RNA sequence: GCGAAAGUGGCGGAAUUGGCAGACGCGCCAGACUUAGGAUCUGGUCCCGCAAGGGGUGGGGGUUCGAAUCCCCCCUUUCGCACCA
């Protein structure tokens, strides 16, 4: 065995051997328990970054542990290979996106292999190949058949840098999710949508199955879906013979309505302008409000602006005519685009009405006011002007027949009355919108739709799939679909009438690709269906999914939606595909996320060349618990490297001697009795470490503490080294401790573990060994050092046998020299003995 | 503004159930070996104090024999939401 640790050599050797042994290839085996470990698939951007390394090191530790626990482990990887960056790079460099993508995949595959992750590479997928994306098209057609994919013209989010449409989920603070400083603009476009809103209730309800998902993710999803119960109420517009519908969750406050606010984009605005005595003026004002509203959505704090249209609307509950205003803060995309203004009980209305001098009328008082006091607390005892709206539920006043009711009762009764009298009804509104999937870009899945002059929208027949993305396309990045300029792609014949027709030229959002890829891994080559039902039946659900939290309302909600559609189609028979989700923290450096734009990127491949993959991976897991952000430190990785060197030297030093001997096994009481003090000490530490690591691997996953324990074990081995050399530790015992250490290490730094295990005379790899059970007898202490407190302050320590009785502990504690000094002359009130932990003597 | 999480040495972090605060690593200090040390090994390293002792987990209060941990108030940071009617 080489006396010097050479990670480059060792890692190449074991990676080749693992591959040759087909160690990580898992196949269906109904006789064995399965375990599916999934990590979020990378986008082939050119290089693996530290965030990937962290993600995949966590998954690999788990996968290796589960293999050793005897599970049949599915651990796949693939490529989220369609997308904008490749297309943009292609435009810049006058090359084809496919060239970039495939060469980047090639390079990143090499980098992943260099890191030694235990993937079943036979299952690798790339979403940009027709064998994969044809099934995106297939899903699209299935959804189309079910009315879940539809086309409509609407205002959509447009990023001027991406030169394409974005889904609502891809807009962050009014800006593009990929370009934080680029405000999204609104455009009217014909687009394809997937009807995720048809699944809102199931997405909410089925959260009950996701008990092993982080609460935070579920909350974010809930908020994103934004379900709220309320009432639709029709106001009649005087002089127009038209109704204006509003949505409110607080119909109980409607007797306090002093105006109606309408979004500047609302269709009724055109009618108002037309009927206005001064149309030009009203139009100009509407435009001004609209312009301020667009700015408002991007900005944080905005001034509430509005304009009185001069029209009046009639509140059907009390027949009162109130003015109709255009208001910049009213959203066209939520509810009906119009709201009733109740300044006394809505803070926004309050601010607006205060600004414009609209009346404020109190109709709710706190329930505990007993009905006697008719003034809300916000109006102040002196009867001065209120400073804010009273927005709580309470009791109704000044509300005609409903006065005296509680808010809850009133909402129910008033909604029912509206329905009975035909001017309104109960309604549920959602914040989430349907998923716009059309993209005016090239590098994506063609949408399998044909437009025929005579037949209209015609889906591509299933037998004609895939619709191949043509290779020769002129890419300009100029905001129109590149496919539109490929006549041989566009020109087709109508599958229904056989006449000339043209193809849809938009491509799909790449989040479609990643919404079902993890099903494909279970049988990546199947050509007759997107997924193999039998394989899914064996491997699903995903037992553990690991990735970044940034996908909480993107991928992680789309993926759940897709699974529900798949359930409805009959492809799978469960509602939720992922049993347990883990979101790891970011890798940061100098207090900010590592990113090219910040120029603080540490390249994993360079780190592998310098320290070896084992060191990089060990450091990633040691520097912080996995759910927290990890602060990169150059000094820190040196420490990890030093540790592995130390382990290597320690084993190398004894390898020749230990190689031929057998491993000590505990044969029960007799075996334990014959251990020397040093042997006892070494085995105790070993089994305490095993105990900690084993229970931690079962779910807590604080790998940093596992590695710290392994370091302590190494320190113990090092301290006992001279005892081992002096024969006070038998080689068999020594070897047993070292082998357990190696198995623990194999979860985090597998190459060095296999190398060291081989040096000890084994032919199988660590991953093929059963995970060692910890021995409670060996890990138990036989003597304890108990701290002794006097009035809660540490005063001394006593050593007692584990089985020592309370009487003995009591007297020993009081007799301890320093303790006795503090007891001197004081009366002992109570002695608290916490078994195995401490003694506290209370005196006065 | 609302919601969530967090705040522990010079730094990353540990303390799994209310029971020795600071494991482990980094850094630093001293020493050994060495032609040399950015290798390795040994010892030290929360603060004040010569010591005895005292103080200490963002700040203040509380519960308890005992609080980093539980409760109340406040401050700070990060993340999410932010006119969703």
Rounded-to-integer distance, Cα A510 and Cα A300, Å: 30
Averaged pLDDT for residues A281-301? 75
Give residues 305-364 of chain A lying near strand B (Cβ < 7 A): 328-331, 333-335, 337, 339-340, 346, 348
Give residues 231-260 of chain A lying near strand B (Cβ < 7 A): 247-250
CA-wise closest residue to A635 among A589, A703, A704, A598: A589
Say how far A218 CA is from B75 C1', in Å.
30
Q: Over 90: is that where the pLDDT of A543 sits?
A: yes
A290 contact to strand B (CB, 7 A limit):
no
Q: Give the phi and the psi of residue A828 in degrees, each rounded to 5.
A: -75, 120
A806 contact to strand B (CB, 7 A limit):
no
Say how far A305 CA is from B51 C1', in Å.
74
Q: How far is CA A562 from CA A142, A196, A207, A557, A682, in A?
A: 11, 9, 15, 9, 53
Residue nearest to nucleotide B26 (CA to C1'): A636
Say how far A723 CA is from B9 C1', in Å.
34
Q: What is the mean pLDDT of chain A?
A: 91
Look up the pTM and report it.
0.93
Least confident span in A344-353, A590-599, A750-759: A590-599
A708 contact to strand B (CB, 7 A limit):
yes
Averaged pLDDT for residues A86-111? 93
Q: Is residue A424 within 8 Å of residue A474, measured between CB atoms?
A: no
A3 contact to strand B (CB, 7 A limit):
no
Q: How far is CA A440 from CA A173, A472, A476, in A?
A: 23, 17, 11
Interface predicted TM-score (ipTM) of this complex, two decimals? 0.95
Confidence label for A785 from pLDDT (cuts 50, 70 and 90): confident
A625: nearest nucleotide, CA–C1' criterion: B13
Say how far A646 CA is from B31 C1', in Å.
21
* pLDDT tens per residue, range A300-311: 567 888 999 999
* pLDDT tens per residue, range A751-766: 999 999 999 999 999 9
What pLDDT sits at residue A656?
A: 92
Quick one: which H or E segment has residue A693? helix A677-695
Rounded-to-integer distance, Cα A518 and Cα A637, Å: 33
SS3 for A456?
strand
Say how far A664 CA is from B31 C1', in Å.
39
Crossing angle, helix A703-719 and helix A634-658, to 10 degrees? Answer: 50
Least confident span in A79-83, A477-481, A573-577: A477-481
Q: Is residue A172 within 8 Å of residue A180, measured between CB atoms?
A: yes
What pLDDT sits at residue A121?
A: 98
A700 contact to strand B (CB, 7 A limit):
yes
Say how far A793 CA is from B66 C1', in Å.
9
Q: Is residue A507 within 8 Å of residue A449, measured between CB atoms?
A: no
In sequence order, which residues have a C-beta less than 8 Å from that of residue A656 and are 6 or more positions away? A1
Q: Over 80: is that where the pLDDT of A479 sits?
A: no
* pLDDT tens per residue, range A158-213: 888 888 888 887 887 777 888 877 778 888 888 999 999 999 999 999 999 999 99
Residue nearest to nucleotide B3 (CA to C1'): A219
Rounded-to-integer distance, Cα A482 and Cα A45, Å: 22
Q: Over 70: is that where the pLDDT of A377 sits?
A: no
Rounded-to-integer distance, Cα A481 and Cα A165, Å: 11
Confidence label for A295 from pLDDT (cuts 50, 70 and 90): low
Relative to beta strand A449-452, strand A456-459 is antiparallel
A797 contact to strand B (CB, 7 A limit):
yes
A220 contact to strand B (CB, 7 A limit):
yes
Confidence label for A294 from pLDDT (cuts 50, 70 and 90): low
Q: Is A131 exposed, middle or buried (0-12, 13-18, 19+ CB in 10 A)?
A: middle
A841: nearest nucleotide, CA–C1' criterion: B65
Q: Higher confidence at residue A12 or residue A479? A: A12
Rounded-to-integer distance, Cα A720 and Cα A734, Å: 10
Relative to beta strand A364-365, strand A456-459 is unpaired
In sequence order, which residues have a C-beta less than 8 Å from that of residue A366 and are 6 or more positions away? A376, A377, A390, A392, A394, A395
A832 contact to strand B (CB, 7 A limit):
yes
Q: Is residue A473 within 8 Å of residue A486, measured between CB atoms?
A: yes
What pLDDT sits at residue A371?
A: 47
What pLDDT sits at residue A584?
A: 93
Three-state SS for A371-383 is: CCCCCCHHHCCCC
Q: Over 60: is that where the pLDDT of A370 sits?
A: no
CA-wise closest residue to A248 among A431, A432, A430, A426: A426
Q: Is A745 exposed, middle or buried (0-12, 13-18, 19+ CB in 10 A)?
A: buried
Residue nearest to nucleotide B23 (CA to C1'): A708
A300 contact to strand B (CB, 7 A limit):
yes
Q: How far is CA A104 from CA A205, A471, A518, in A?
A: 41, 18, 21
List chain B nucleotides near protein: any atom < 7 Å from a Cβ. Answer: 3-4, 11-16, 19-21, 23-27, 39-42, 53-55, 65-67, 79-85
Least confident span in A80-84, A376-380, A467-471, A688-692: A376-380
What pLDDT sits at residue A378?
A: 46
Say how far A709 CA is from B66 C1', in Å.
28
Averaged pLDDT for residues A619-647? 94
Q: Higher confidence at residue A802 or residue A536? A: A536
* pLDDT tens per residue, range A483-532: 999 999 999 999 999 999 999 999 999 999 999 999 999 999 999 999 99
* pLDDT tens per residue, range A613-630: 999 999 999 999 999 999
Q: Which residues pair with A74 in a beta bridge?
A: A36
Q: Give the phi and the psi of residue A393 in degrees, each rounded to 5.
A: -70, 155
Q: Over 60: is that where the pLDDT of A136 sits?
A: yes
């Amino acid at each position: 065995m080489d006396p010097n640790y050479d990670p480059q050599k060792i890692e190449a050797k074991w990676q080749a051997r693992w591959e040759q042994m087909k160690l990580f290839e898992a196949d269906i085996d109904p006789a064995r328990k399965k375990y599916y470990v999934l990590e979020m698939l990378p986008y082939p951007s050119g290089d693996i970054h530290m965030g990937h390394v962290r993600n995949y090191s966590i998954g690999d530790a788990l996968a290796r542990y589960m293999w050793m626990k005897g599970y049949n482990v599915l651990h796949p990887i693939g490529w989220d290979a369609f997308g904008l960056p490749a297309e943009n790079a292609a435009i810049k460099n006058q090359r084809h996106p496919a060239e970039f993508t495939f060469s980047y995949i090639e390079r990143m595959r090499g980098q992943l292999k260099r890191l030694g992750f235990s993937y079943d590479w036979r299952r690798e997928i790339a979403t940009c190949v027709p064998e994969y994306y044809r099934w995106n098209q297939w899903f699209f057609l299935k959804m189309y058949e079910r009315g879940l994919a539809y086309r409509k013209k609407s205002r959509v989010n447009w990023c001027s840098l991406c030169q394409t449409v974005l889904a609502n989920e891809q807009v962050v603070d009014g800006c593009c999710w990929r370009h934080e400083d680029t405000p999204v603009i609104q455009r009217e476009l014909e687009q394809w949508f997937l009807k995720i809103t048809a699944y809102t209730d199931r997405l909410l309800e089925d959260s009950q199955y996701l008990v092993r998902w982080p609460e935070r993710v579920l909350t974010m999803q809930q908020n994103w879906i934004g379900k709220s119960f309320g009432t639709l109420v029709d106001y009649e517009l005087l002089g127009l013979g038209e109704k204006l519908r509003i949505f409110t969750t607080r119909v109980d406050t409607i007797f306090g309505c002093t105006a109606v606010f309408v979004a500047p984009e609302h269709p009724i605005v055109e009618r108002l302008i037309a009927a206005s005595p001064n149309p030009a003026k009203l139009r100009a004002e509407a435009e001004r409000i609209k312009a301020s509203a667009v700015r408002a959505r991007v900005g944080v704090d905005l001034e509430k602006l509005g304009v009185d249209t001069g029209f009046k609307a009639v509140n059907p509950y009390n027949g009162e005519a109130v003015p109709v205003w255009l208001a910049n803060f009213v959203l066209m995309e939520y509810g009906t685009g119009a709201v009733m203004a109740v300044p006394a009980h809505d803070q926004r209305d309050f601010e607006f009405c205060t600004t414009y001098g609209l009346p404020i009328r109190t109709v709710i008082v706190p329930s505990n006011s007993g009905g006697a006091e008719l003034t809300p607390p916000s109006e102040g005892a002196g009867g001065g002007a209120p400073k804010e709206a009273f927005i709580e539920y309470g009791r109704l006043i000044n509300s005609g027949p409903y006065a005296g009711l509680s808010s809850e009762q009133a909402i129910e009764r008033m909604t029912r009355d509206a329905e009975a009298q035909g001017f309104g009804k109960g309604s549920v509104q959602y914040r989430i919108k349907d998923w716009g999937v059309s993209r005016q870009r090239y590098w994506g899945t063609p949408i399998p739709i044909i437009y025929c002059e005579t037949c209209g929208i015609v889906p591509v027949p299933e037998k004609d799939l895939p619709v191949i993305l043509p290779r020769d396309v002129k890419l300009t990045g100029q905001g129109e679909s590149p496919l539109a300029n490929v006549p041989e792609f566009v020109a087709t014949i109508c599958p229904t009438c056989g006449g000339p027709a043209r193809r849809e030229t938009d491509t799909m959002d790449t989040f479609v690709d990643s919404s079902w890829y993890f099903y494909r891994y279970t049988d990546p080559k199947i050509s007759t269906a997107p997924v193999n039902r039998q394989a899914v039946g064996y491997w699903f659900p995903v037992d553990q999914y690991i990735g970044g939290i940034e996908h909480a309302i993107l991928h992680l909600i789309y993926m759940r939606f897709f699974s529900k559609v798949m359930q409805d189609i009959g492809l799978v028979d469960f509602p939720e595909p992922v049993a347990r989700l883990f979101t790891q923290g970011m890798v940061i450096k100098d207090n900010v996320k590592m990113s090219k734009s910040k120029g603080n990127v540490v390249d994993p491949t360079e780190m592998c060349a310098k320290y070896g993959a084992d060191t990089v991976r060990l450091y990633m897991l040691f520097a912080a618990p996995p759910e927290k952000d990890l602060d990169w430190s150059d000094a820190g990785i040196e420490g990890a490297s030093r540790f592995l060197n130390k382990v290597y030297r320690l084993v190398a030093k004894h390898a020749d001697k230990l190689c031929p001997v057998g491993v000590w096994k505990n044969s029960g009481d007799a075996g334990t009795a014959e251990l020397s003090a040093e042997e006892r000490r070494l085995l105790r530490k070993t089994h305490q470490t095993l105990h900690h690591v084993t229970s931690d691997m079962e779910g807590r996953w604080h790998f940093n503490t596992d590695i710290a324990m392994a370091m302590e074990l190494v320190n113990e081995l090092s301290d006992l080294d001279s005892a081992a050399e002096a024969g006070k530790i038998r080689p068999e015992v020594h070897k047993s401790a070292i082998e357990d250490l190696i198995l623990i290490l194999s979860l985090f730094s597998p190459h060095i573990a296999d190398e060291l295990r081989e040096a000890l005379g084994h032919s199988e790899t660590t991953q093929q060994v059963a995970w060692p059970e910890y021995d409670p007898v060996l890990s138990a202490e036989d003597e304890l050092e108990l701290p002794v407190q006097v009035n809660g302050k540490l005063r001394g320590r006593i050593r007692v046998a584990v089985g020592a009785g309370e009487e003995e502990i009591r007297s020993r504690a009081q007799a301890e020299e320093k303790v006795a000094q503090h007891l001197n002359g004081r009366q002992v009130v109570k002695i608290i003995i916490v078994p195995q932990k401490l003694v506290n003597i209370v005196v006065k």
